[in-house]
């Protein structure tokens, strides 16, 4: 299996970075091929702009998604985007590893999503969910945060973290056709003991070893909708 780890934490000594290192080691030990894009270390540019295209389809007005299609088709898309897109299309499993920033991803990871998940190749038209360009691949999200687990329960003060990450789990990963595995959460990381952190790393390692046995989360299938995307069950 080919694994692509997208790591988005500015501190190399962080617990998030330790999760990345454990993942790489565990995948290698299992005989898998691993590539890592450490976005901060790479100095990855997160800003989507007209500068991403050396030759524009429309020089007068930039429709970013259409320019993505043209850039890929003509080989004129920015080299850093093409490198990441090549890694993405070659992988069988995409791992996104990041700290929770405001119930979301760090900006640098959102920028990777904006620039690398290109229209035409990854999605477009009715090529989404189980017809998306990344179908047949899987995705796994690992998140570190300062909050405690009980704060994110069904009756917790914040509500379920999975719901807050719906924009990523469904609106990005599942939307592009990926089979999304249940996320891994490392809770209360800055405030727990060293032994608790070690136990968390061991749990993450064990989780990686059992990925083949996991059932992906459930998201919409276009087979349940008609050509106008009305639910088939509502048709007489």
Q: Can you give the CATH number for the domain in which 193 is found? A: 3.40.50.360
At 236 the pLDDT is: 55
List pLDDT tens digits, range 69-110: 999 999 999 999 999 999 999 999 999 999 999 999 999 999
The number of distinct structural domains making up the chain is: 1
pTM of the model as a whole = 0.95
List pLDDT tens digits, range 189-211: 999 999 999 999 999 999 999 99
Residue 168's domain comprises 2-234
Q: Give the whole-angstrom CA distance, residue 29 versus residue 73.
A: 38
pLDDT tops 80 at residue 31: yes
Integer angstrom CA distances of residue 129 from 91, 153, 230: 18, 27, 15
């Amino acid at each position: 299996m080919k694994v692509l780890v997208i790591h988005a934490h500015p501190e190399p000594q962080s617990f998030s970075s330790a999760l990345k290192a454990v993942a790489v080691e565990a995948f290698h030990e299992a005989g898998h091929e691993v590539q890592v894009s450490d976005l901060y270390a790479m100095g990855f540019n997160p800003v989507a702009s007209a500068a991403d295209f050396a030759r524009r389809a429309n020089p007068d007005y930039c429709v970013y998604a259409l320019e993505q299609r043209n850039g890929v088709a003509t080989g004129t898309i920015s080299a850093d985007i093409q490198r990441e897109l090549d890694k993405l299309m070659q992988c069988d499993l995409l791992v996104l590893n990041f700290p929770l920033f405001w119930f979301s991803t760090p900006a640098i990871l959102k920028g990777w999503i904006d620039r690398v998940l290109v229209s035409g190749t990854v999605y477009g038209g009715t090529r989404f969910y189980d017809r998306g360009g990344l179908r047949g691949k899987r995705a796994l999200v690992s998140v570190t945060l300062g909050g405690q687990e009980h704060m994110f329960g069904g009756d917790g003060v914040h509500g379920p973290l999975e719901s807050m990450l719906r924009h990523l789990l469904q609106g990005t990963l599942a939307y592009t056709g990926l089979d999304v595995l249940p996320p891994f959460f490392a809770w209360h990381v800055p405030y727990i003991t060293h032994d608790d952190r070690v136990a968390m790393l061991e749990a993450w390692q064990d989780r990686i070893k059992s990925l083949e046995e996991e059932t992906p989360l459930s998201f919409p299938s276009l087979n349940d909708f008609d050509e106008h995307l009305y639910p088939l069950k509502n048709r007489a």
